[in-house]
Amino acid sequence: MDRYKTFAVACKGGLILTADPLTLASQFQGSATFLINYEASQKGGYRRIGGHQKFSASSVPGTGAVLGVAVFGAGVIACRGVNVYYGTGGSWGSAINGTARTGAVKYRFARYNWTGVDRIMMVDGANHAARWDGTTYTSITHASAPNNGKYIETFANHIFIAGYSANPGAIRWSGTLDDADWSVGKGGGELVIGDTVVGLKTFRNELIIFCQNSIFKLTGTSAANFVLERITDEIGCVAPDSIQEIGGDLVFLAPDGVRPLGATARIGDVQLASVSRQIQPVIVGNDITTIANIASVVVPSLNVYRLYYNDTTVPDADGRGISGSPLRSVAETPAFGGWEWAELSGTRPFCMDFGYVNNEEYIVFGDYNGFVHRQEQGDTFDGVIISALYVTSPMVMDDPNIRKIPHSLKLAISVETTTELQINAVFDLQDTNTLQPQPVFLSLESILALYGNGVYGSAEYGANPSGITRKIYTAGSGMYVQYAFFCSGPTNAHTIQGFTIEYLLGGRR
């Protein structure tokens, strides 16, 4: 037994596709060469993504895709065809808009409360902006208001709209604390940016203006002291609906991948650098930056950013996306911009949003078939089994030129529901001249219960939610060793946090 060696690996680093096997083995142990429907967990390791369920069993009335969703009040606004609807999970009822909206492409929203009443305003690129307060729907038809804006945001007690056909390179704002009057006398105004505006986002005390080839910021509190400053004229945003705030930064999709917009330690300086370089083959191979429809959302409780790239030509089962998360600890060594990435498969949103209903987190999306779904609900994609795959980076243990003979594997795994894993030992980068052993099957059942939720006689109170599995005996040998973890079942919610390998050293090549 003294001849056995132990090799321990903590699962971290995410999907890395831009490094050679030796670099992965020496610098990025615990990273992945395949990571599909797993995400970086805030508790360490990789968690199989949660499922989603229909928010309402009924489709939103109309035809085509759901063109916009927004969490508001005690429910969700959903836009389809020529109408806008509101629901709390039952049937959608009657449209909330009095006049049909025609020609809409995609809805975007801004939520605000200036008078003690929650309000939401929507634009769709074809009609007048409209306001709803949960009871009354009001079309904004003021003579100075844009009549077909695409992008909307609140900033400094004004509503800002951009992307209107009269001047795609300008932004226009409402009166101070007045969303209906856009006249100069009430504090409204317009500012020409000089580049086609493709997105607006309030960040701290600034309005960030994303353009096709540049990025600007607006500071100040009113038309009297608004100041426009250029952040960069070297790069722009290619997908308005990729812009999200996460981890104290704004992120957006640029021509070369996902980039953050964050102040550095030097006051007034801005750091612009891609954080998705390690998955650049996914960005380039799927031509993500040219796909017409991009949908994204942040899941605050998980600290993950999900971006989906899909169109009308693929079925739901082939829906694709990427999931990213800033490194979980400042003690982590920053690699490739300090983010961990994974791929997503099996979900095809057209539009997305997140918000809170009675302090409960709601992550919602509208699909191409007229339904609204809520993410992180259940263990399936609306009844479709979730398949997930994690293939570790290559490991060489002591020396890449010495054959390793793994004897057993122990997993540090947190199991939320009954979990069945197929585990494959993969040798020498799947070299066809190396014998690849048969898979091993592992079945685990969560018995942890929280006080008040467990069932007497079948639940174990005080159990450790993160356990170490028994030894899993493996076969085969090779210079490079990888493990592939695959699950496909109606449950299988779990987090792979790390593993240890007991192995023997063989001969030198």
How do residues 227-282 score in pLDDT, each as one tens digit? 999 999 989 999 999 999 998 899 999 999 999 987 433 445 666 778 999 999 99
Q: What is the DSSP letter of 494?
A: E
Which ranges of 128-167 would DSSP assign to H, the alpha helix? none
Nearest to 503 by CA among 9, 103, 158: 9
Residue 383 pLDDT: 94
Contacts of 246 (CB under 8 A, 6+ apart): 298, 303, 304, 305, 326
Structure tokens at 486: 């695959």
4 touches 266 (CB < 8 A): no
More confident residue, 458 or 31: 31
Residue 365 pLDDT: 98
Q: What is the DSSP letter of 124?
A: -
DSSP reduced 3-state for 490: coil
Percentage of the chain lying above the pLDDT 90 cut: 78
Contacts of 455 (CB under 8 A, 6+ apart): 449
As to burial, measured by CB atoms within 10 angstroms (0-12 exposed, 13-18 middle, 19+ buried), residue 360 is: exposed
Residue 263 pLDDT: 43
User: Does the predicted TM-score (pTM) go above 0.85?
Assistant: yes
Q: How confident is the model at residue 417 (pLDDT cuts 50, 70, 90)?
A: confident
Residue 266 pLDDT: 41
d(CA 183, CA 166): 17
Q: How confident is the model at residue 336 (pLDDT cuts 50, 70, 90)?
A: low
Question: At CB < 8 A and 24+ separation, what contacts does 175-179 make?
Answer: 176/222, 177/114, 177/115, 179/112, 179/114, 179/119, 179/121, 179/131, 179/140
367 touches 65 (CB < 8 A): yes
Least reliable range by pLDDT among 28-37, 201-210, 283-292, 329-338 = 329-338
Residue 84 has pLDDT above 80, yes or no: yes
As to burial, measured by CB atoms within 10 angstroms (0-12 exposed, 13-18 middle, 19+ buried), residue 95 is: buried
Residue 51 has pLDDT above 50, yes or no: yes
Report the chain's C-alpha Rg in angstroms: 25
Residue 332 has pLDDT above 70, yes or no: no
Q: What is the mean pLDDT of residues 353-375?
A: 97
Q: How confident is the model at residue 328 (pLDDT cuts 50, 70, 90)?
A: low
Give the β-pairing of 494-508 and 440-444.
unpaired
Residue 451 pLDDT: 53
Mean residue pLDDT of the chain comes to 91
Least reliable range by pLDDT among 159-173, 323-337, 446-460 = 446-460
Q: How confident is the model at residue 335 (pLDDT cuts 50, 70, 90)?
A: low
Residue 463 pLDDT: 47
d(CA 172, CA 144): 9
Residue 12 has pLDDT above 80, yes or no: yes
Burial 458-477 (b: 16+ CB within 10 A, else e): eeeeeeeeebeeeebebebb
Q: What is the mean pLDDT of residues 137-157?
A: 97
Percentage of the chain lying above the pLDDT 70 cut: 91
Contacts of 262 (CB under 8 A, 6+ apart): 248, 249, 250, 270, 271
Q: Residue 229: how many CA atoms within 13 Å on its side-chain side?
A: 12
Can you say how many angstroms the Cα of residue 90 is from the centroid of all Cα atoms in its chain?
Answer: 27
